[in-house]
Amino acid sequence: MPPDVTLPASLALLLGALRPCFTAPSFRTFTALVAGLAGQPRRRTVVGMLLGAGLGLAWPHDRAHYFFARARWDLDQAGLAVARLAAALLVPPGAPLRVAVDDSVFRRSGRKVHGAGWQYDGSSPAESKISYGNCFVTAALIVALPFCTREVALPVLARLHLPGKKNRRRGGGADQGKVAVAAELTALLALAFPARAVHAVADAAYHGPALRDLPPNVTWTCRVPRNAVLYAPAPPRSGRPGRPRARGARLGTPAEIAAAARWRQRPAAVYGGRTEPRLAADLPCLWYGSWRTRPVRLVLARAPRSRKPCDLALVTTDMNTPAEALISRYAARWSIEQAFSAARNVLGAGEARNRTRRAVERTVPFAMLASALIITWYARHGRGRAAARDRRASQPWYTAKEEPAFEDMLNELRRVLITARISAGSQAEPTPQQIHDVLTAWHAAAA
C-alpha cells in the first residue's frame, strides 16, 4: 500500500468529521489533497497538491486527477458536513445562521474548458469587467472569531454557473440562473439546520421569482436596484364584486421613497467591524416583481452628512429585526468578497488546469472548502492574535496590524504540517529536502 500523508492530530481530527462523505480510498486522497493544497506555496495545480503533500513520487498523478474527475463523492454533501462542523465549533448553540450568497469568476483559458465563457467579473482588471472563465455561485457561513473584529465568511456550498442568454430576464435584470442556484444552496442549508433560522444576504443581482419558495426558516435580504418600483401592501377587501386588489398604491423607487422618509439616527456596524451612526428608515411594502404579494420591508440608510437621498436601500423578508441590525447584517456580506480574494490569491483556487465537466465542477469548490477548514482549524488550534504580533515584529511596516489575516492562518498551518512530517515516527535528522520545505514555509510567511 502506498504511503499516506502525515497529518498533525489537530487537522486529522477536524478532517475526520468529513469521513462519511467519502469512500475509504477517496477519503485518503481527500486528506492528502487538503494538506497538499495548504502546504504548497505556489503552482497549486492538481499535481501541485500532491507535491505539497510530499507524495509526488509515492502516488501516481492520476490518483489526484481521478479524485476530481471520476471518484464517487458528492460536493453538496461534503459542503454540508463542513457547514455542520463550522456551526458546531464557531456558532453559539441555537443561534441563527447568517449566510452570504454571491458569485465569482475564476479566469481560465482554452476552448475546451467545461462551462467557461465570457461573463461579468467584478475583480477583473479590465475596464469592461468582463473575463473568460468559470463562474461559481457560492453560499458562505458568516461567523465571528474571538480574535477578529471583522466577521469572516466560510464558503461551504458552491455550484458552477453555466453562462447563457436563456438565464437572463427579458429587458435585462437579474440572472435568474444564478438566483435559482443561490436559492437552492440556501434551501440546502436551511434543510440541514431545521431548528435554526437562516438569514441570507445578497447584493442587488439576487432577486426574482426563484426566491418565492424558500423554506419557512429562511429570511432573504438583498439590495434593491435603483429602478425597482415598490408598492404599498394590498388594501383590505372592499366587499364589492370582482377580484380583490393584489397591491396598494405605488410608493415609487427607493430614491423617491427616501425623499419623503422619516429618518432616525441609530448606531450600526458597518464594513470592517466599525460601529458608526446611520440615519435609517423602514416601511412595509410589496416588491411585486420579485415576491408578488408576500409582505417585505424596505430599509433605507445613509450617513448623517450624506447628500444622497439614501446610501443603501435593502428589501428583506425579515419583518421583525430592527433596521440597524439589518444594516449591520448586510454589511457583513462583504466578508464573502474577502473569502473569494483569499481563496484565489492566497490559497490558489482556480490554478488547477483541468477541463472535464466533473473536474471543473469540483476543483474550485474543493479549494474553497479547504479555506473554510483552514479558518476553522485556526480558530480551534491557532495562536490567535499572536500571529499578527509576530508578523508586525518581523515586518515593521505593518504598524496597525492587530489581527491575523487568512495568509497568517495558512502559514501557521504550513508550519504545523511540516513539523508533523519531519517528526513522524522517526528520530533521524531531517533530510535536506525537509529543511528546504521548512525554510520555504518561513520565507513564504515573511514575503
**Strand pairing category for 250-252 and 264-269:** unpaired
What integer pLDDT is reported at residue 321 of this predicted model? 94
Q: Cα(350)–Cα(46) distance, rounded to whole angstroms? A: 10
In the predicted model, is pLDDT for residue 2 greater than 70?
no
In the predicted model, is pLDDT for residue 224 greater than 80?
yes
The residue range of the domain holding 384 is: 9-74+371-446
* 210 within domain boundaries: no
State the Cα angle at 316 between 313 and 319, rounded to 5°: 125
Same-domain check for residues 233 and 303: yes
Set of cell numbers at residue 399: 504598524
Q: Cα(376)–Cα(90) distance, rounded to whole angstroms? A: 8
What integer pLDDT is reported at residue 171 of this predicted model? 44
Q: Are 247 and 285 in contact (CB under 8 A)?
A: no
Same-domain check for residues 154 and 295: no
In the predicted model, is pLDDT for residue 440 greater than 50?
yes
* 361 within domain boundaries: yes
In the predicted model, is pLDDT for residue 272 greater than 70?
no
Q: Are 134 and 116 in contact (CB under 8 A)?
A: yes
Same-domain check for residues 392 and 245: no
Count CB neighbours of 94 within 10 A: 8
* 309 within domain boundaries: yes
Same-domain check for residues 168 and 90: yes
* 157 within domain boundaries: yes
Tell which residue, 302, 310, 161, has the closest CA to residue 228: 310
What integer pLDDT is reported at residue 432 of this predicted model? 62
What integer pLDDT is reported at residue 3 of this predicted model? 63
* 105 within domain boundaries: yes
Same-domain check for residues 312 and 236: yes
* 418 within domain boundaries: yes
Q: Are 362 and 65 in contact (CB under 8 A)?
A: no
Tell which residue, 216, 181, 212, has the closest CA to residue 195: 216
Tell me how many domains the chain contains.
3
**Distance between start and end Cα atoms, the chain:** 38
**For 113-172, what is each residue's pLDDT tens digit?**
998 999 888 888 888 889 899 999 999 999 999 988 889 999 999 999 998 755 554 444
In the predicted model, is pLDDT for residue 179 greater than 90?
yes
Give the CA distances from residue 288 to residues 110, 202, 234, 310, 324, in Å, rounded to whole numbers and listed in that order. Answer: 42, 19, 11, 22, 25
- Please tell me whether the overall predicted TM-score, pTM, comes out greater than 0.85 for this model: yes
Which H or E run contains 258? helix 254-259
In the predicted model, is pLDDT for residue 428 greater than 70?
no
Same-domain check for residues 101 and 187: yes
Q: Are 133 and 108 in contact (CB under 8 A)?
A: yes
Tell which residue, 49, 162, 159, 58, has the closest CA to residue 102: 159
Average pLDDT over residues 338-354: 92
Listing DSSP states for 263-277 in one string gives -EEEEEE-GGG-EEE
CA 89, 94, 96, 99 dihedral sign is positive
In the predicted model, is pLDDT for residue 425 greater than 70?
no
Same-domain check for residues 356 and 398: no
* 338 within domain boundaries: yes
Give the CA distances from residue 43 to residues 299, 302, 437, in Å, rounded to whole numbers and listed in that order. Answer: 45, 44, 15
Same-domain check for residues 359 and 377: no
Same-domain check for residues 198 and 80: yes
Same-domain check for residues 150 and 170: yes
φ, ψ for residue 148 (rounded to 5)? -130, 135
**Strand pairing category for 198-202 and 152-161:** unpaired
Which H or E run contains 251? strand 250-252
Q: Are 213 and 267 in contact (CB under 8 A)?
A: no
Give the CA distances from residue 401 to residues 46, 151, 396, in Å, rounded to whole numbers and listed in that order. Answer: 34, 16, 10
Q: Of residues 397 and 308, which shows the higher confidence score?
A: 308
The percentage of residues in the chain with a pLDDT greater than 90, rounded to a whole number, is 57
